[in-house]
Structure 1
Amino acid sequence: MYSHILIATDGSDLSRKGLDHGLKLAKQLGARVTIITVTDMWAASVLAEAGPATIADYEASQQVMVKEVLEEAARFATESGVAYETRHIPNRYPADAIVETAQKAACDLIVMASHGRRGFRKMLLGSQTNEVLTTSTMPVLVVK
């Protein structure tokens, strides 16, 4: 049914549930996975007003976070026995990057959490998830 699954993660507890669910599904189907994390572009523009030292600090902290998120995802995939690759998509609107990466990688399913790290938006279906649901031409599995 599905042979290549894209799993989006931001390292939050809920996105780990999405990752776990996507990996279990891939294992059962014998599918391979592409695991991505996206760093939003708006944050860098906000920090531009704060000066170069703050921007450099922000970018360094983002790289540390991305490394940790993708290393954890890779460990889970390895433990699950699922063929995988990891990708970081920097400075992009997450929903756009998720859909475009899934299309370019010829994925046939997107798996993601209902929401991620974004403040009050966690109360409702996440705006990024909602955007993926409305723009994707392939099936999207939302993990609550």
Structure 2
Amino acid sequence: MFNTILFPTDGSPLSDKAAATALAFAQLNKAKLVAISVVQPFPFSPMADGGVVLDAGLYEEQMREAAQHAVDKLGQAAQAAGLAFEGLVAISPSPYEEIVNAAANYHCDIILMASHGRKGLNKLFVGSETQKVLGHTQVPVLVLR
């Protein structure tokens, strides 16, 4: 029934925990697992007279490396489980749009994702990407805790 499964990951402990379930689900269905990790661009533009100027390029590079590490880690687990796997890292200010688009582009039958990856004020300001995915996709979504 499920031939291609999309698993968004942010490398958080909750996402890592959900990855084990996604791998088992893919094995059970003999499905291909597609993993996506979305890097959001640096959220603030540096101020010229500020005391500290952050390097947006360095931030994005480090976030891209962390995202790639999360995808590669899942790819290694999928390979060890004998699963077909494809991983991608995207850069976008809107992770849910990238997730919804990936589900369509890879013809995914289902999206398995953790209930949330962010906590505290960051979640309040950014909002739940899981909720946004639920509201914008026609593909079934299995939310994992």
Please, what TM-score do these two structures have when normalized by structure 2? 0.86
Where structure 2 has 5 or more consecutive residues not aligned to the other structure, the ranges are none
Q: Which has the larger radius of gyration?
A: 2
**Would the alpha carbon gap of residues 45 and 105 (structure 1) be closer, same or farther in structure 2, given more than 3 Å must change?**
same
Contact 1:10 1:117 in 2 (8 A): no
Residue of structure 2 equivalent to 1:49: 46
Deviates more, 1:51-60 or 1:17-26: 51-60
Distance apart, 1:67 and its partner CA: 2.4
Contact 1:6 1:107 in 2 (8 A): yes
Contact 1:115 1:129 in 2 (8 A): yes
Amino acid across the alignment from 2:28: Q
Residue of structure 1 equivalent to 2:97: 96
Where structure 1 has 5 or more consecutive residues not aligned to the other structure, the ranges are none
Counting matched residue pairs gives 139
Residue of structure 1 equivalent to 2:11: 11
Residue of structure 1 equivalent to 2:32: 32
Instruction: Output the CA distance in 2 between the equivalents of 1:6 and 1:77.
Output: 13
Please, what TM-score do these two structures have when normalized by structure 1? 0.86
Instruction: Output the CA distance in 2 between the equivalents of 1:68 and 1:21.
Output: 19
Residue of structure 2 equivalent to 1:64: 65
Distance apart, 1:120 and its partner CA: 4.4
Instruction: Output the CA distance in 2 between the equivalents of 1:50 and 1:27.
Output: 50
Residue of structure 2 equivalent to 1:82: 83
Distance apart, 1:63 and its partner CA: 2.4
1:103-137 deviations in Å (ceiling 9; x for gaps): 111101001000003434669xx611011111110
Structure with the larger helix share: 1
Contact 1:8 1:19 in 2 (8 A): no
Contact 2:46 2:54 in 1 (8 A): no
Amino acid across the alignment from 1:128: E
**Would the alpha carbon gap of residues 122 and 76 (structure 1) be closer, same or farther in structure 2, given more than 3 Å must change?**
farther
